[in-house]
Amino acid sequence: MQLNWQISSKDVARIEALIRQQEDNPVVRDRLKNLAKRKTEIRKEEFWRQMVGMRLTSIQRSGPNSHVARFNRTRPFPLSYEILCGVKHPETFIANALKDAGGIRFGNKIAQHLAANFDWLEKGGWTSTLEQCNRLSRSVPSAVEKEAANYIEDNFEGFGPKQSRNLLQVLRLTRYEIPIDSRITRWLNEFGFPVKLSATALADRHYYEFVSIGIQMLCAKSGVYPCILDAAIFAMSDGDTWTKDNVY
């Protein structure tokens, strides 16, 4: 069986209108950095910093005024790679830092995942992880982005299809593969996506990739990169609460 994606001129017009409406929003303007032809090499410190931040956003509010957003903007960052390298018991340290921050849900589970990921990286996982990321430092096809996302999903605790793409996107590495979260699914269902999207089903890699193909085809017809559409939907959902100072 084969699905034939049909995208109408009305669909394209709605996408174009959304982008025009949100193009000056700080989230959208910041996301343009993902389109750079050449990107800064990802190193251990930056990867770890963003991996912690993206694990924190799972299944809890992460808008600009949320507890997670405030924690992620803390400087110096309480769970930096440099700090963790000097900690004897990472899981306990992480759990205590999240508890002290206040308002962050599932702190013990997050601490367990992050400590396991830190241990795996330090025991030899860094080389292949940074290689996967830095494959994306230049413009590559969506298939290469998907391979990098699958690598993260396969090797890091607490990272499914959405969170793996969220991490690559916040590292400014991806154009095509986007995190399909509740904002995206709600918008696509209202838009008229050909199948009713289910957050539970999106935990399955094959279903997620099926939906991602549809989004990418819609964007290709509209002359918009998926990462920019994602930013526009994100900005629209949160209104004018994002500023150039709280985009992270």
**Do 163 and 58 sit in the same domain of this protein?**
yes
Choose the final residue of a domain: 148, 170, 192: 170
Residue range of the domain that includes 145: 44-170
Choose the final residue of a domain: 170, 186, 205: 170
Structure confidence by residue, pLDDT tens digits, 72-127:
888 999 999 999 999 999 999 999 999 998 888 988 999 999 999 999 999 999 99
Token reading at 207: 């279903």
Structure confidence by residue, pLDDT tens digits, 157-184:
999 999 999 999 999 999 999 999 888 9
Q: Which backbone phi and psi does 239 adopt, to 5 degrees?
A: 65, -145
| Mean pLDDT, range 65-75, rounded to an integer | 85
**Do 147 and 55 sit in the same domain of this protein?**
yes
**Do 13 and 111 sit in the same domain of this protein?**
no
Structure confidence by residue, pLDDT tens digits, 10-62:
999 999 999 999 999 999 999 999 999 889 999 999 999 999 999 998 877 77
Structure confidence by residue, pLDDT tens digits, 188-213:
999 988 888 887 889 999 999 999 99
CATH of residue 59's domain is 1.10.340.30
**Do 99 and 213 sit in the same domain of this protein?**
no
What is the C-alpha separation between 56 and 68, in angstroms, rounded? 7
Helix axes 205-222, 226-238, angle to 10 degrees: 100
Specify the pTM. 0.92
In a domain, 201, yes or no: yes
For the chain, how many structural domains are there in total?
Answer: 2
What is the C-alpha separation between 238 and 231, in angstroms, rounded? 11
**Do 62 and 132 sit in the same domain of this protein?**
yes
Choose the final residue of a domain: 132, 153, 170: 170
